[in-house]
Amino acid sequence: MRKPFMAANWKMNKTSRETEEFINTFIPLVRDISDVDILIAPTFISLETASRLLKSSNVLLGAQNVYHEESGAYTGEISPDMLIAAGCSHVIIGHSERREYFSETDEVVNRKIKLARSKGLEVILCIGESLEERESNRTFDVLSGQLSGSLADLSLDGITIAYEPIWAIGTGKTATDEQANETHAFIREWLGKHRENADRVRIQYGGSVKPENIEGLMSQPEIDGALVGGASLKPDSFAKIAAGASGK
């Protein structure tokens, strides 16, 4: 049975001080949750603060992005070794906002995953379709292309898939439980056809996840967790989401 995995993507929110305040409130709220993996991905400048506070807790630390080179003249970028030194065990790669605002292609995503995995970082790979693509019945074609390009020459070891329909991110819209499960089932079927051990891969849902809808989403057999944005910025809200996955 796949262990549920709940991850908080804080995006460009929270200073180091705000991160400290969040974690000090959050840890006691989730201390007794042992059957769910919980992860927080703060901004780069808050990673070391978060790492210090999360030690000896049941909460993992991740980064929101990484570069595909080990070092060099790449102003403003962060390498896998830097993330590991800061205490990260995971990194989010290929988020739709990175693809849209920073023109990251599947090839770039693939290079990032390869380097991150070679260094021992576990990866949350984000994929998802736009509203236009969904309405034109291209969802599965888009996801197939993203999976094929992003996972080229890679095994599934150490990789979690996060399905994030772009039309549901930060919009308040959420795929129905059944819609989400259908798409997750397609992703797992694709993985099964092209890679080994697809049944072990955790597939998260992302897109306006909140305490009110998490139990319905987690009741679906192919949904193994969530990648949470806005609702993860408040300790009580994200704690309720984590608790909603407990006992699946």
Q: One of 68, 90, 95, 184 is an active-site residue; which one? A: 95
Q: What is the CATH number of the domain that holds 50?
A: 3.20.20.70
Residue 134 pLDDT grade (very low, low, confident, very high; cuts 50, 70, 90): confident
pLDDT digits (tens, 9 = 90+) for 175-194: 789 989 999 999 999 999 99
Q: What is the pLDDT of residue 131?
A: 83
Residue 81 pLDDT grade (very low, low, confident, very high; cuts 50, 70, 90): very high
Q: Give the chain's domain count.
A: 1
Catalytic residue list contains 95: yes
Q: What is the pLDDT of residue 238?
A: 98
The set of residues, in sequence order, having a beta carbon less than 8 Å from that of 108 and lying 6+ positions away, is 68
The answer on pLDDT for 246 being more than 90 is no
Task: Give the domain range for residue 119.
Answer: 5-245
The answer on pLDDT for 82 being more than 80 is yes
The answer on pLDDT for 239 being more than 90 is yes
The answer to whether 211 and 236 have CB atoms below 8 angstroms apart is no
Q: One of 133, 164, 184, 222 is an active-site residue; which one? A: 164
The answer on pLDDT for 172 being more than 80 is no
Pairwise CA distance, residues 244 & 208, whole Å = 15
Indicate the pTM of the whole model.
Answer: 0.96
Going 102 to 106 to 111 to 112, the CA torsion angle's sign is positive
The set of residues, in sequence order, having a beta carbon less than 8 Å from that of 91 and lying 6+ positions away, is 62, 63, 64, 65, 66, 80, 83, 116, 121, 122, 123, 124
Q: What is the pLDDT of residue 35?
A: 95
Residue 247 pLDDT grade (very low, low, confident, very high; cuts 50, 70, 90): low
**Which tokens hold the place of 107?**
């090839």
Average pLDDT, the chain: 95
Catalytic residue list contains 164: yes
